């Protein structure tokens, strides 16, 4: 990129539409349950945690939605960060492979930080749910 130029990224999202009838809700519920059966998925982790805490059905769906929003926010923040870093990766001629190795190292670092942050966040959430005197 040329000095003084700024990268702009536009993402178009489809406006969500609420289901029109109970069949639409049932379809969404089945999709959530199918994803919950997939080991390692966010839904599976949320369902396991919700069942362990004895959350009601409604509380479970709120928990899943909240966790999904947190992950979406993390992904958005990562995208912004990497968009800010990308111009520096392309800023000048370098030896072959240097930019790729640097990008790989940055990616590993970002994944590690995000992984540690989400583990810490989950631990804090679980600690908050099980700490005495919270009325649970």
Tokens of 56: 């009601």
In a domain, 9, yes or no: no
Check whether 45 has a pLDDT greater than 70.
Answer: yes
In order of 39, 81, 94, the CA distances from 90 in angstroms are 38, 15, 9
In a domain, 16, yes or no: no
In a domain, 36, yes or no: yes
Distance CA 51, CA 44 (A): 11
For residue range 48-59, list pLDDT tens digits in order: 999 999 999 999
In a domain, 136, yes or no: no
Domain of residue 68: give its range.
23-130
Distance CA 2, CA 86 (A): 13
In a domain, 76, yes or no: yes
Q: Tell me what percent of the residues of the chain surpass a pLDDT of 90.
A: 23
In a domain, 34, yes or no: yes
What's the domain count of the chain?
Answer: 1
In a domain, 37, yes or no: yes
User: Taking every pair of C-alpha atoms in the chain, what is the biggest distance, in angstroms?
Assistant: 61
For the chain, list the strands marked E by DSSP. none
CB count, 10 Å around CB of 95?
A: 7
């Amino acid at each position: 990129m040329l000095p003084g130029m700024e990268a702009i990224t536009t993402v178009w999202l489809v406006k969500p539409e609420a289901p029109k009838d109970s069949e639409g809700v049932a379809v969404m519920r089945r999709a959530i349950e199918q994803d919950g059966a997939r080991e390692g998925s966010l839904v599976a982790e949320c369902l396991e945690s919700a069942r362990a805490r004895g959350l009601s059905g409604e509380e479970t769906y709120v928990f899943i939605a909240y966790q999904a929003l947190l992950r979406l926010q993390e992904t958005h923040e990562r995208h912004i960060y990497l968009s800010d870093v990308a111009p520096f990766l392309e800023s000048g001629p370098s030896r072959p492979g240097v930019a790729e190795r640097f990008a790989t190292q940055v990616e590993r670092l970002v994944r590690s930080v995000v992984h540690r942050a989400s583990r810490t966040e989950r631990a804090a959430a679980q600690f908050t749910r099980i700490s005495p005197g919270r009325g649970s």
